Structure 1
């Protein structure tokens, strides 16, 4: 389905990012795996290898411009092009707004929004040069509706969704598709120690990361004349 396509996935070392990388690798894409944890990225690369896919590991803190530039250079040096960029890197914390420090705010906003901006900005020129390609943002239902105990996380995800909406206006006439996948609760390591606890039985009723990955595949699988701009998923245990 994606034979020969080059896909860059941020936050690819675990959870949703890992699932997206493997879903694309299974369908023939060459995957570029970006995150901070080299050891975990290497584990994902080995999984991609077993699927017969080419995988490139590029560790780094993508909040830093030099790390994003290194990601761009390594990708283009290895594969010569890019076709798909999945902005998936994200962090979160739950609690009353008074429980948040300015450092918490910077950590969440920089990871969720600044990384999306920097990575998109870095890879957009080759996409525009080709006049085709996909930008996917893994956002959240917290980017569509304000939720209690999630004020800063909601702010970061609302920003990400607004960024994607603006890009859709700018880039659609130039052949670039923009998609937003907005899941509810997903059973991953997300927010462990900052609002969620490992082993919490409630997580068992949440979405699986592979289910979110299939939504990304669905968006990317649309015919050239169509786009899936917003896909929302929620587990049955969560109200709308």
Structure 2
């Protein structure tokens, strides 16, 4: 399929781990648009996959809106990866750092979803009757809050709630929305599993396959939430 004939897909927050694996998985079938605040790792992924790149801050409403309005054709897939952590006891947290972190994890997710939904709802459905897919990369912090991690929990709980609400709103209109709970550490470049605990980390390529499965799900059986964890984990 030529690039001109491919549907478009947007990946927000691109580095050399999960987002790179997602780009590799989607590149054969989509005209990719990669977004990040800095070019370094994103440019390497773009060179490998042939994707277009966009320097932007995902918490900037205007930049996100302009990006999605300019896409031609309208995006069929939009994936939000960014998140921010501020760790520490509640009594010591800097309110400004907290605000910025929650904006990255939650407000940015809202901005992407809004911009993507506007384009998808105005588009003609594909042969499956689907107008688009919006996916959010979550974490176990969106299901249970850990000590000294209140800020990350706030952001991920908000993100999960956003996805659940939007799935009820947008599924009947042909837009698939899902939140993926990455319940464990990802085996990103430079991060190795403990020798005494093999298979304890999630493979980014395997996670990307799960995202692709969500994108291709038949609309008669859509998931709005998916949890992924290593098979050796006791939970």
Shorter-chain TM range is 0.7 to 0.9
Q: What is the match of residue 219 of structure 2?
A: 224
The 5-angstrom pairing of residues 180-191 of structure 1 reads: 180-187=179-186
The runs of 5 or more residues in structure 1 that have no matched partner are: 50-54, 191-197
Q: Deviations over 1:181-233 (max 9, x none)?
A: 1112223679xxxxxxx767549732122222122111112123321221101
Q: What is the match of residue 94 of structure 2?
A: 101
The 5-angstrom pairing of residues 52-67 of structure 1 reads: 55-67=51-63
Q: Which residue of the other structure, out of 6, 16, 19, is the alignment partner of 1:4?
A: 6
Alpha-carbon spacing, 1:152–1:200, altered in 2? closer, same or farther (3 Å): farther
Q: What is the match of residue 208 of structure 1?
A: 203
Supply the distance in 1 between the matched residues of 2:232 and 2:146 (Cα, whole angstroms): 16
TM-score by length of 2: 0.85
Instruction: Verify the 8 A CA contact 1:144 1:158 in the aligned structure 2.
Output: yes
Q: How many residues align?
A: 223
Q: What is the match of residue 122 of structure 1?
A: 115
Q: What is the match of residue 134 of structure 2?
A: 135
Q: Deviations over 1:93-133 (max 9, x none)?
A: 44333342112311220111011111111121111112511
Q: CA RMSD in A?
A: 2.5
Supply the distance in 2 between the matched residues of 1:144 and 1:174 (Cα, whole angstroms): 27
